[in-house]
């Protein structure tokens, strides 16, 4: 039995990790750190939770003495880089701190100096880097929008001239302390666009998708779920459905289907479902949907842990 822990366990992604890991057959959840909720039962904070786990607040020294195999960090951006160098366990970081191979690109996107320049990480997208993830000691778990955009365009990106991503996400992606969490009326019968041209996930995606891209995100009223509409302008004609079906034929969590998928197809799952594939001259419209808290965050983090520890990739996620 492998021992694992979470730092930042009381936020939305931390809670999703608790739900998955507490039922995972191969791991014991030994640390559930939350400064703000230390000593409280998880079900005092999330009343739908049925377990009896209690939030902890162990020091880094105490965590290191526990001999944990994997530590999940569900912290705000810029905090993980100060903690990772102190941990002895393998780390899966759900923030952006270790998503960029070139740290200068992180610094440009997030406007802060990176303090851990030498440590190497693996980008935690299993559909692209499964072999590297299996051997990794440090994973930079992808952003939710980035996951959807990469998966929506990866099979045909080499033949794409440019891609326009129109993306919509449930408000949980903004976090537990967001204005949407505090005032539900903001999104009632509403949709809000933001960061029209320079959302940080654009720079994350540009590491892997080499076609020219544009990206505008929107917040919508559902709590969870994300839709990526990719307008892919092609250099040449291809059998697009065949290309996607072939590329993802061995993927456990990416499903290619005819028709247009919607959020109901993926909520509370670790799936990304891709469909649409309508063609208008040289433009292909591809729709990808996923749960931003699972395949876009915590579910994908556990998928990465499964690969790192030698479990079946889908353990605890079906």
Q: Report yes or no: 272 and 34 within 8 Å, Cβ to Cβ.
A: no
Active site residue 272: no
Q: Report yes or no: 260 and 227 within 8 Å, Cβ to Cβ.
A: no
Among the listed residues 37, 144, 167, 272, the single catalytic one is 144
**234-272: string of b/e by CB count within 10 Å (b at 16+)?**
beeeeebbebbeebbeebbbbbbbeebbebebbbebbbb
Which residues on adjacent β-strands are paired with residue 234? 160
Q: Which of 191, 192, 174, 190 is nearest to 182 (CA)?
A: 174
**CA–CA separation, 309 vs 162, rounded Å?**
38
The widest CA-to-CA distance across the chain, in whole angstroms, is 61
**CA–CA separation, 138 vs 141, rounded Å?**
9
Catalytic residue ranges? 144
């Amino acid at each position: 039995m492998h021992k694992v822990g979470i730092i930042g366990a009381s936020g939305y992604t931390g809670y999703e990790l608790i739900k998955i890991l507490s039922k995972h057959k191969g791991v014991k959840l030994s640390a559930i750190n939350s400064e703000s909720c230390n000593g409280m039962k998880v079900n005092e904070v999330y009343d739908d939770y049925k377990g009896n786990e209690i939030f902890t607040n162990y020091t880094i020294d105490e965590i290191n003495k526990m001999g944990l195999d994997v530590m999940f960090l569900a912290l705000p951006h810029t905090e993980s880089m100060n903690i990772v160098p102190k941990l002895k366990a393998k780390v899966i970081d759900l923030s952006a701190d270790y998503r960029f191979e070139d740290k200068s690109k992180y610094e440009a996107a997030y406007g802060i100096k990176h303090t851990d320049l030498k440590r190497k990480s693996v980008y935690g997208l299993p559909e692209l880097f499964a072999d590297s993830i299996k051997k990794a000691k440090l994973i930079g778990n992808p952003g939710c929008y980035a996951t959807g955009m990469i998966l929506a365009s990866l099979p045909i990106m080499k033949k794409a001239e440019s891609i326009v991503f129109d993306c919509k996400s449930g408000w949980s992606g903004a976090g537990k302390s967001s204005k949407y969490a505090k005032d539900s009326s903001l999104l009632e019968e509403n949709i809000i666009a933001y960061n029209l041209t320079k959302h940080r996930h654009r720079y994350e995606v540009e590491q892997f998708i080499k076609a020219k891209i544009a990206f505008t995100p929107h917040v919508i009223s559902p709590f969870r779920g994300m839709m990526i509409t990719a307008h892919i302008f092609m250099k040449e004609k291809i059998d697009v459905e065949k290309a996607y079906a072939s590329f993802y034929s061995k993927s456990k969590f990416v499903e290619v289907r005819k028709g247009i998928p919607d959020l109901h197809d993926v909520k509370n799952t670790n799936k990304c479902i891709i469909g649409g594939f309508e063609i208008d001259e040289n433009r292909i419209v591809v729709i990808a949907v996923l749960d931003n808290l699972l395949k876009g965050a915590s579910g994908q983090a556990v998928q990465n842990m499964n690969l790192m520890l030698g479990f079946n990739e889908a353990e605890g996620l079906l």
